[in-house]
Every structure is written in C-alpha cells, then in structure tokens.
Amino acid sequence: MPVKSMQAEELFVREGEDFVFQSGTSNGGFRTTVYRHCENKMRVVLCRVPGPLCSMNIYVPTIAKDNKGLPHTLEHLVFCGSLRHPHRGYLDALANCSFSIGTNAWTAEDHTCYTLTTAGEEAVANVLPVFLDHVLHPLLTDSQFITEVYHFDATGKEQGVVFSEMVARENSEEDLMDLSLRRLMFADDSTYSFETGGLTKDIAMLTNKEITEYHRRFYDANNATVVLIGSFSDTFENVIQNLPADLVASQGCDSREPMNCSMPTSEKRFEYVKFPSAEADFGSFAFGWRGPLSENVETVTAIEILMAYLADNASSPLAQRFVERPAPLAGYLYADVRMTLPSSITLTFSSVPYSDPNNPNVDSHDDDHDDSYDDDDHGHDDEESEEEDYHDPDIPMLFAEGHFERLLIEELQRIHDSQFDGNRAAMAEATKRFRQKLAANIEDSPLDVMQEVILPDVVAAHFSPSNCAHIGTRARVFDVIDRLAQKPIGFWLDLLQWLIDEPMYHVAMVPDAELNSQLEAERQEIELSNEQSIADKNEHTREIDAAVEANKVNISDKLKYSIPIPDASRISGLPHNHSVIKLDTPVGPAKVVQLVEVDSEFPEFKLHVPLTNLPDELRAYLVLFQELLLGTDLVLPAGVPYGADGRETETEHRIDYVEFDNHLADITTLNGAAIGYQNERFSCSWLDELFNIYVRSPQDKLQEATQSIIHAMMFADFAVERILTVAQNLLSEIVDLKRNGDQMVVPVTTLFTTQDREGCPRWIDNHISLFEQDRVLRRVIEELKAGNTSAVEKLNLIQEFVINTSGGFMSLSAPQGHRDTSMEFIGEFGRKWQNCFEKFVGRNPRSSLCNDVDLSACPFPFPRHIRFPDLAKPLRVQVTMPTLQASNVQISFHCNLYRQPTSTRPFAEQLAELPAIDFYALEMLVALLQRSDGPLYNAIRGKGYAYGAFFQQYMWTGMLAFDCSSASDAPKAIMEMQSLVASLDEDWGEHVTDFEINMTRSSIVYSNASLESTPDSVVANCITSNICGFESAAMYDLWRKKHLGAVKQEDLRRVYELYLKKFADPEFPSVTVILTPPETDLPPELGEFEHRMLDDL
C-alpha cells in the first residue's frame, strides 16, 4: 500500500495519485509517485523497479541559441565543486564510496541530464543532496574553465576536455549528418538547429562569464526534475522530504516557455555535405520528417511501429529494396523517432556507393572490378541477367540531386499501393513484434528504458506549446500498442500516405579525400595565430599550470573519512539457481547443459560449438558464415517438422530467407550467430575459438525458436546471390569502421599483439580481423562475379564441421521451479536435432569433417591461450588515418596473471591459497588510479590532453594496456601517464591510501550487483563463470570477493613494481600503437616509431 501523502507544510507534496508504468509482462508494472516542491516547480519522480540497482537522474531542460556549446561546457563544469562542497573530487569520492562506478552526464539539444547508478537506495540517499548542490550551485571558476573547457598552450595547440571531445566529433560523418539534417528540419532559431556540444571555432570564443549567466537562467530549482528509478522503498520519501530547504529553493528563474515549433522559414529541403574520408567510395543519406508533438503518444507510437516495419530487419521492405540485393544501394539502414519538439522521424542509409553526380560515368568503386571479368571465360549461360543483377543502373546516379529521394518515395508508394505487399495483417504482426521487443527491453534494462520513457514528458512539460504534457503520458503505452494492433489496414495506409505526402528533408553525405588536408591546414593556421597572440609564453604557461594546480583533487583526510558507507549486506541480486548437467547421451553437439533458473518471461537458448579444430583454410570465411546462417534460404527435406504446429514437410521445401527472417522476428526478441562471446563482428576480445547460435523468445515460442536454430544449422542454403549481397554489405561496413579512430585502435593493435602458433591454424581473431576480411571479402565478390563458387564450398564445409562436432555445450534459462520441464525441453531438442541430422547426412553422405573432441571431458574451463608475441624490444607504430582530427592510443604488454581453480583439488583449499591475488590486486590498483577525478583522470583529462584515458587488464589474452581516446595532444597524454606511473615510486602514500582502497572496493560492490540485476545479466554471468572454470556463478562470485577482500597495501605495491611500472620503462618490450591525423609529428621522447598508413596494414 502507498504511504499517506505528507502534509502541505512538508517540502514536497504528491502531485496526484500514484500510477503504474506498464512493463508489458505479468508483473503488472512499476508503481510511480510524482512529488512537487511546495514553493516552486521542482519535481521528483519515484519509479519503483525491482532489482538491486537504483538510478538517479537530475534533468535540467536546456536550449542553445548558438554553437558555443554552453549546455555542454556547463555539464562538464558542474563536477568541479559546489557551494557547500567546494573540494574538487568530493562528489566522485562520495559516489564511488556509495556502491557505484561514479557520476556521469550527457547533453542533448533540449536537456542536460546528470546521472548516477548505485547498488541500493541507501547510496542514492547519500549522494542526492550533494549531487543537487553541484548541479544547482556549482563554483564555475575561471581556472576550471581553462582546464575543463578550453585553452591553448605556449605553442598554440588547443586543449581542454570539452574541446578534445568535440574536435574528435565535429567533422565525423555521423555528427555532420545529424546537425545538417536538424538545420533543414527546424527553424533557424530553434535549439535543434545548433550544435549543443559546441563547434570548436565557437568554443574558442566562449567565456566563463557566458557560462555563469547561462547557469543562472536555466539551472534554477524551478526548472529541475529528479527522476529516481529502482528498488526504492516507501520510506525513501523521507529522504526527499529531508533535503535542505535552501538547497532546492528557487532563485526566481523559470525557463519554461513554449518552444518555437514552426516550420523552417527557408524552403531548402536538401543539402550536400562533405566529410573527410580516405577514399571517395561510400557516402550516406539521411531523410527526416517532422512528426506530431511527443505527448501525442498514440500517433507517435504508431509511427514507431510503422518505421520498425519498414526498416527493422533484413526482411523489411526498405531493406529489401536498398540493402539486401546483389548490387546494394546501401550497406545498412536505420530508422528512428526522436522525441524532439515536434518529434522527428529519420531514415538513415549508410555505406551508399558514391559516384560524382557531375560525372556519373566514372565509377569510384574498386570492389566492382567491372572490367576484370569475361563471362564467356567462366561459362555463364545468362550473361544479360548477371549484368543486370550485379550492375544496377541506379548506382552511378545515387548522388544526383533528388535521385535517391525519388527511389525512396517510389518504394514507399509501392508499399502503400500494394497494401503492404498484399498482407493485410502485416501491421498487426508488426505491432505484436514491437510490443514483444519493448517488453523484453524493459526486462533487460529496466532503469534505462524507464528513463527513456519518462524523459520526453520532462522536456515536453517544460517546453511544449500544448498544455497536454505531464509526467506519465506513456504510463499505459502497452494499452496504446494493444489498441493499435486492432486498427484496420486503412489506418496504417493513411499513416504511410501521410509520410509520403509530408515535406521530406534530406542530406547527402559526400566523401571528400581532400577535406582532411584542408582541415589540418586550418588547424595549423589557428595554432600559429594562437602562438603569435601570446605576449609572454612563460607567463602564459604559468597561468595554465596554476589553473591545473587549482583544479586538482583536494579532499582532506578528515573529509574523506566523514563519507558514509552504505550497508552492503542489504544488497541482493535476483534470485536464481545455476547448475551444470552432464548428459548421459550428447544432445546434438552438446555433452553438457548450463541450466539457469531465473524468473524471466523471455528465456534464452544458446548452442556453443568449439572451433578449435576448424581447418585453417576455412577460418577466414567464418564472418560470412555467421552473417548468413540465419540470413539465407533454407531447403528443408521431406519429413522435417516446420512451423508452430510442427507439421512435417511432405516434399522438399524451400523457405526464402525473407520468410525465415520474418518468422524469426515473430517468435523471438533476439536471435543471431556469433564467433566468440559478447564480441564485435570483426574482432574478439575472448573466446574466438567458440561459435554460438542463440535465440531469446517468449516462453510459449521457445520450442519453435530452437527448432528454427536446428533448421538453419542443418539446411541453410548458401546461394551465390545471398553471399554476394552479404559480402558487399560487410565490405561497406569495414569502410565505415576505417573512418573511426575509436573503432580502429583495437583492430590495429591486435595485428601486432596476436601472434600465431607455429604449426597450428592461425588464430581465428586474426582471420576475422577487418584487415584480412577486407581482402577476403573483395576476393569473394570478385570470384562470385566471375562464376567461381569456391566460397559456397567453404561455407558448406564450415556447416558440416559445426554440425558434426562434439564437445560443445548448450545454455538454457528457464523460470525457477520448472527443472523437470527444462529437462523435457532439452530431451525434445535432442530428438529434433537427431531427426534433422539424419536428414542432413542422407543429403550429404560425403560429410566427413569431424571436430575430434574428447566426449568424456567437460568443456569447462574453455582453453585459454596467451598470444602476445615474444618481443626483444619495444615495438612502436604510428598509423596515419586521413579521417582523424584527434588521436587514439593503445600501449600494451604481456601480463598473464589470471588463475582459476582446477578440478584436481577441493575448491575451498585452492581459494584459501589465493592463487589469483596478483590479478585482482592489479585490477584494484588500476581501478583506483583511473576513477573519475582520480590520479590518471586528473593527469590527462584534467589537463585537457584527451577525452578518455584508462588502464585495462585483458584476462583472456593475458595483456595489460593503456588506452587513450580522442586525444588533442596524444604525446603529452602518454608522457603524463608515464610520469604518473613513475612518480608512484615516491608518491605512493599520496595516491594509494586505505581510503582509496576502500573506495575501490565499494565500486566493486556495484559491479558485482550489476551482474545479478536482470535476468539477462544473470544468465550472462552464469555462462561466463562456467567458461572460466567455476562450477557455478556463486563460486565465481566467492572467488572474486575472497581475492578482492584479501588485497592489502603490500599486494598493490607488489603488482605496481612487477607490472604497472613497466609503462614507465622505455626499454620494456611493449607494443605502442598511435592512430593520428595526417602530418602529425611525434616527439623523440616517445621513442622511435614505424610510420604506416592505415590502408597499408
């Protein structure tokens, strides 16, 4: 029962009755209370979501009237100290002691949000008043502005945290596209027409006085809304009522005013926008429409469903027209409905083949190789058909003004006129899928999804020109979805026609190989001008050094030890049971079943297959295999059960991949196939020798979903047309990745840190790297177009290998208390597998590949191999990327410290010896050094040299690394890191105190709680624990806690001396990779570097 409302004399009163945000599942939803301040318009929203985690989100609606980045710069400065808590670092120290990994924030076009996620409500109670004080009453000193926002050094080089972040972003294809489209769609004076993050040339003109005035106008208690989401008790209302009255008192500034939602005055609806690119090969298009106000929930939701139908998966109509074709007009597309005012609907087509519209006969794509083939030489019977399939006449004209727009409108009109391709139930089916996915997303990430649901109401209540906006407009969104599911086809046709008839805005993103040189020349001119403007370089340097010194963390010991520590014993994860069941008879490839019993309405099934013995000549085709396995036609033999009713096919039956994709979309919320576990498509941080295929479904659809897995594994038909389509789209994705420094630093580093074994197959991670895949995919495309189908044979051989394998395992999550039902499910899966396997063998009698694995052995722990090369001296490589404006760094070396229990001795006996103490001590030491406002943070980010810097211990590959991202001055960032590491020798007691150790342990409480915060995280943690050699997640948790709890000062000092200190040794055999913009000179102090171009790797 809800508690009684507080009396009017209390600080906050309830605004209306409690209501429930629907979750879409049987738990009914999340009870929510809205409180309003008695004397101003500040609100607190309390949404009760089960689980161990709680989030605090402080929203301030903010707008921009220029490109100086006032909202963004203020977001950064808020963390530097406040009126009641002027000591920099206190907020983050308090947050880290409160079972969290620190505070965070983001800035959007119409709001800024300050956020913290903790384990337990007690931690939120401790941090809330301090965080509010920083938001509402920051110090905003000039010295903070210098380090956090902008300055230039004595050589004219521009620096500052905000500047470093934006210099890396502002000329990227994605950011330029977003800003350009918004400028077309909204009025010139609208906040959506400006870069609220700031453009670097405007940031350089910004003053601290402007930021202070901006804070006065927008950051009044009148304008703030605090949204608390998590497992809050009813007594938490006392925390809200006991906030200091003067802390949340208004100064009289109310920024509420109806936002200008008028149409743009300009009639311009299209623009070409250039972006820097190494090669002028692929561009992109973004289309936008102005939608209804966000508080019109039914119409906005209907648009979201329509856009999902049009573009959500491979079988969607727009994907079929533009992406899933032998000659793709785009590599991929993405639809979004953003809750701007009014809402904005966008369609983005990326990796669009670029040809100069002024000279369309010149083809810039080296992957087509039009003149390389003589079809007669390869025995083609249908030369004209091949030419039409592979060389679409639209491609040379795609960037001619209006051409792509016309293709899109024609396709939308065709869908309308065909009444959704003759399927009158299409939108009812799409609505059901939408509902299913939303419910699953809420179960997976309740804090994030509820925040996204509440946010539009916060902004609309502040700025919307209507009087309909209030907190909770989306509370009953599942009722809205259910009503939409009943709408007749005419409703959806009218909505689609509205989309066709409404004004469409679009931008064409044009790759320009010369633009980066122009930008670099402009940067050098600015630096020269800056340097010439300095009257006294020594005094200039002293001012910057003084600002850095003034902004160092300055928490006294007395203040540190006054920080309250919540009670960790009150925190508990989701109830679950975890067991490993060894089967008497293998079920398909699996000898072992991981059974995770946890209450979830969307259970998951995964089949894991070891790839250890996969022949080397097949490994480079694994990326294609994983993308095609659930994305190509199936050919089912007679006698195979198919569909919801399980009826057997009477004759051989081909299922088009579009039909199969639609079928999977109907019965699953998640499906896929992957090399490794939680990895990227072209890289594996661990487990690259393991292949898995997975589905997640509503409980009543799981049998059908797992049957679909079997069908795909046994009967996927790797047809030339589908291989060609997928290969070309993968290749275009690689081109996109090569433009992004953040995405490229790990793949480049992997080239130099992963050494293959002599006499053994190359590591799969090397085969699937985007550098090798670039070559492999180009070769596959060339061969297929020439009539050479060797790629088909390779994929068939991988399929045979996976099907014939043994020694794998399956993972199944199921509701608690249904173990017998789960075992029946596993038995049924085994029967279906055997039935289909017999059909497969009958069709493929030559199948002989076998993954020869010892069936008597348990697959856990999965073998771990160290791959770092045996270096005699340091290896340093500078890689030039023409698209970069900022640098990215990784320095790594061999550091294999992880130890796991063996099966030969009792677990308790091994645990008592603490064999992995060095691993966990190093884990704690790097966490201590790199926390927000910690030593590494202040040495690099605090001085404005880079946006991000951190150490990382790679357990699976046995490496220790230093990573630095979006660096405006990478050499100084590296030297600051090395200086910090070296200084620890003498300054150890300053940085590594008992307080810092306890604070780090507190943050680890959060990390452990997050592993058991949702059904999805519980399942992932259980799988990981077995792979790492533990019988259960509980034993893995005990292993971690026991080691971390035992770490002492002497352990930290030992791992510093033995491992971390190596970063300060210029002769230690490490690998340093720096990705830089062109014409970047590295100082000799960093050592001698090899110079490479990205395309030469």
Task: Specify the 3-state DSSP secondary structure of 490.
Answer: helix
Taking residues 634-638, report their average pLDDT.
Answer: 95
Pair 55, 451: CB distance under 8 Å: yes
Does the pLDDT at position 464 exceed 60? yes
> Above pLDDT 70, what percent of the chain?
95
Of all residues in the chain, the percent with pLDDT exceeding 90 is 80
* Residue 126 host element (H or E): helix 121-136
Torsion angle, CA of 520/526/531/532, rounded to 10 degrees? Answer: 130
Note whether 110 and 464 are within 8 A (CB): no
My answer on whether omega of the bond before 357 falls inside 30° of 0, hence cis, is no
- Bridge partners (DSSP) listed for residue 154: none
Beta strands 1071-1076; 875-880: pairing state = parallel
pLDDT tens digits, 490-530: 999 999 999 999 999 999 999 998 898 899 899 999 999 99
- Domain assignment present for residue 378? The answer is no
Clarify whether residues 349 and 229 are in a common domain. no
The answer to whether residue 422 is domain-embedded is: yes
Is residue 677 within 8 Å of 692, Cβ to Cβ?
yes
Q: Per-residue confidence at 363, pLDDT binned at 50, 70, 90?
A: very low
Q: Which of 292-296, 471-475, 597-601, 858-862 has the lowest mean pLDDT?
A: 858-862
> Is 869 within the bounds of a domain?
no
- Dihedral angle computed from the Cα positions of residues 190, 196, 200 and 206, in that order, rounded to the nearest 10 degrees: 90
Question: What is the average pLDDT across 788-799?
Answer: 97
- Specify the pLDDT at position 342: 96
For residues 150 and 204, the answer to whether their CB atoms sit within 8 Å is yes
Q: Do 472 and 611 lie in a common domain?
A: no
pLDDT given for residue 374 in this prediction: 36
1 band by pLDDT with thresholds 50, 70 and 90: very low
Place of tokens 């659809």: 701
Instruction: Give the CA distances from residue 630 to residues 84, 636, 710, 1062, in Å, rounded to whole numbers and listed in that order.
Output: 58, 14, 11, 46
CB 927 within 8 Å of CB 998: no
Mean pLDDT confidence for 48-62: 96
SS3 732: helix
In the block, residue with structure tokens 């880079």? 946
CA distances from 582 to 578, 593, 610, 810, 823 (A): 13, 7, 17, 11, 12
Are 738 and 791 a contacting pair, CB within 8 Å? no
Rounded mean pLDDT, 775-794: 96
- Has residue 240 been placed in a domain? yes
The DSSP output letter for 1086 is G
Inter-axis angle of helices 720-737 and 770-785, nearest 10: 150
State the total domains in the chain. 4
Assigned domain for 237 exists: yes
The mean-pLDDT minimum among 54-68, 358-372, 499-513 falls in: 358-372
Does residue 641 register a pLDDT over 90?
Answer: no
Residues 84 and 151 both lie in one domain: yes
**Does the reported pTM lie above 0.95?**
no
Judge whether 11 and 243 are in contact, CB under 8 Å: yes
The pLDDT assigned to 392 comes to: 75
In the predicted structure, residue 58 carries a pLDDT above the cut 70? yes
Its domain, for residue 775, covers 576-843
Contact 1090, 878 (CB under 8 A): yes
Residues 691 and 790 in one domain: yes
Are 166 and 152 within 8 A, CB to CB? Answer: no
Unique residue bearing structure tokens 């000591």: 87
| Non-local CB neighbours of 985 within 8 Å, separated by 6+ positions | 1061
Complete DSSP assignment for 771-834: HHHHHHHHHHHHHHHTT--HHHHHHHHHHHHHHH--SEEEEEEE-TT-HHHHHHHHHHHHHHHH
- Say if residue 232 is in the same domain as residue 339: no
CA–CA distance, 343 with 259 (Å, rounded to integer): 13
Residue 373 scores a pLDDT above 70: no
| Closest among 930, 895, 887 to 1070, alpha carbons compared | 895
Task: Among 383-397, 797-811, 952-966, name the one with the lowest average pLDDT.
Answer: 383-397
- Contact between 684 and 765 (Cβ < 8 Å): yes
| pLDDT score at 484 | 98
- Compute the residue count for the chain: 1097
Beta bridge partners of 221: none
Contact yes or no for 112/200 (Cβ under 8 A)? no
Identify whether residues 733 and 710 lie together within a single domain.
Answer: yes
Exposure of 117 in the CB half-sphere (CA atoms within 13 A): 16
Specify which residues 270 forms β-bridges with: 506
pLDDT over 50 at 314, yes or no: yes
The DSSP-derived string for 325-338 is SSS-S-SEEEEEEE
CATH number of domain containing 541: 3.30.830.10
**How far apart are alpha carbons 696 and 598 in whole angstroms?**
14
Q: Give me the pLDDT at residue 897, please.
A: 96
Question: Which of 476, 511, 546 is where one domain is finished?
Answer: 511
3-state secondary structure of 148: helix
Pair (1082, 1003) in one structural domain = yes
868/749 Cα distance (integer angstroms): 11
Phi, psi of 758 (to 5 degrees): -70, 130
Say if residue 418's pLDDT is above 50.
yes
Nearest residue to 793 (alpha-carbon basis) of 625, 610, 631: 625
Q: Which two tokens stand for residue 1048?
A: 């002492």
Q: Does residue 7 form part of some domain?
A: no
Residues 777 and 921 in one domain: no
| Helix ranges restricted to H, 534-575 | 537-550, 557-560
Q: What are the structure tokens assigned to 113, written together?
A: 């949000």
Burial of 319 (0-12, 13-18, 19+ CB in 10 A): buried
Residues 612 and 629 in one domain: yes
Model pLDDT, residue 851: 47
> CA 304, 309, 315: angle at the middle one, nearest 5?
150
Is it the case that residue 732 has pLDDT exceeding 60?
yes
380-384, 389-393, 490-494, 1052-1056: segment of lowest average pLDDT? 380-384
> What mean pLDDT do residues 988-997 have?
92
Helix (H, G, I), strand (E, B) or coil at 589: coil
Name residue 1094's amino acid.
L
Q: How far apart are CA 634 and CA 716, in angstroms?
A: 5
Q: Find the distance separating the first CA and the last CA of the chain, reported in whole Å.
A: 65
One domain, residues 936 and 1006: yes
- Measured distance CA(318)–CA(1087) in Å, rounded: 52
CB 575 within 8 A of CB 598: yes
User: CB atoms < 10 A from the CB of 562, how many?
Assistant: 11
Query: Each residue of 688-709: pLDDT tens digit?
Result: 999 999 999 999 999 999 999 9
Residues 1009-1038, mean pLDDT to the nearest whole number: 94
- Give the pLDDT of residue 882: 86
Q: Is the dihedral of CA 464, 466, 470, 472 positive or negative?
A: negative
d(Cα 378, Cα 374) in Å, to the nearest integer?
7
Note whether residue 379 is domain-resident: no
CA 743 to chain CA centroid, Å, is: 12
| 360 pLDDT tier (thresholds 50, 70, 90) | low
What pLDDT is recorded for position 1092?
94
Task: 988-993: list long-range contacts, CB under 8 Å, 24+ apart.
Answer: 988/1053, 988/1056, 991/928, 991/929, 991/935, 992/925, 992/928, 992/1049, 992/1052, 992/1053
The answer to the question of residue 366 being in a domain is no
The answer on pLDDT for 855 being more than 50 is no
Q: How many helices (H) and strands (E) does the chain have?
A: 38, 31
Same domain for 47 and 77, yes or no, is yes
Mean pLDDT, range 247-268, rounded to an integer: 92
Average pLDDT, the chain: 92
What's the confidence (pLDDT) of residue 857? 60
How is residue 50 written in tokens?
């089960």
185-227 pLDDT, tens per residue? 999 999 999 999 999 999 999 999 999 999 999 999 999 999 9
Question: How many CB atoms are located within 10 Å of the residue 468 CB?
Answer: 12
Radius of gyration over every alpha carbon of the chain, rounded to an integer in angstroms: 29
Percent helix / strand / coil, the chain, rounded to 5: 45, 20, 35
Partners of residue 196 on adjacent β-strands: none
Give yes or no: residues 523 and 499 share one domain.
no
